[in-house]
Structure 1
Amino acid sequence: MPSFNRRNFLTLTASAAVAASLGLISSSAFAAKPDIFTGLVKGVAVAGYDPVAYFTQGKPVKGSTEHSLSHEGAEWRFSSADNKTMFEANPARYAPQYGGYCAYAVSQGYTAKGEPDVWKVVDDKLYLNFSRGVQRRWEKDIPGHIVQGDGNWPTVLNN
């Protein structure tokens, strides 16, 4: 039977620490992306823009922390109390499709950030894209890309 001394103890302890940290790295590396994209402003959906304003004002409008709420693990900001109330009554109506990730990217089977100033409302649904160039590609076949995106969502979050 091998002897147990201080050197063996330190080696065992170091090995256990390495294994534990590798386990943590592995589990976080394979964790799914959040359902709502909040990468532009940490923890905030649509980079702090009011999702209702795309429908009511036809343009991106910056929201306010004064009119905000928590929904699906993200903070949503609104430009007015009325818009906040409208969103609370029907979040699925106003929230961007694919959690605010780029609609074109989701249609292609991956995710990318969705920019609040690169948007389009199609069939009463809000879609964001990564850039104007990407949006031009998406616009070449919007119905087809929406079908592909709907088929990929939300499993694309695990890619």
Structure 2
Amino acid sequence: MFPIRVFVYGTLKRGEPNEHHLTLSSGIQQFIGSGKTSNKFPLIIASKFNIPMVLRERGFGNQIRGEVYEINEEKLQCLDQLEAYPELYTREIEQIELDSGDVTNAWMYMVHEWRPDIYQQSSELLKDYSSKGSHGREYVDSEDVSHPDQLYDH
């Protein structure tokens, strides 16, 4: 079986609020390296929970910085549950340019359905996410965000 690689760009990165879901939950993971997407995407912070998310809109936005991990099927299932896949997020294989100069393919979670006004409710288009970044929108832990309408302030 081929190894499973996943690219994380938000709260699952090292030092971010949900890192423990990647490192401590069931399954195995191994850090491969940091890098950026070959394609451009909109990375925004949205909702009352200040959730970082990439919208599935290739070619718009920036190359997104993040981390690549090698994981097993059990860890992928944990991440699928955390990311509300496939209801809220889809995951697709994307090409990642590692800082080492290598190029790899990895699963990347993206929001596949959103209202047009999500850009008005979000921050600027980011290249790199940090919960404590200059955007001033620190992540708020949410119990269950599994439906697209929960991404909007009501």
Using structure 2 for the length normalisation, give the TM-score.
0.27
**Structure ranking higher in helix proportion:** 1
Using structure 1 for the length normalisation, give the TM-score.
0.26
**Structure ranking higher in strand proportion:** 2
Based on CA coordinates, which of the two structures has the bigger radius of gyration?
Answer: 1
Q: Per chain length, whose mean CA-contact separation is higher, i.e. which structure has more relative contact order (CA < 8 Å, sep 6+)? A: 2
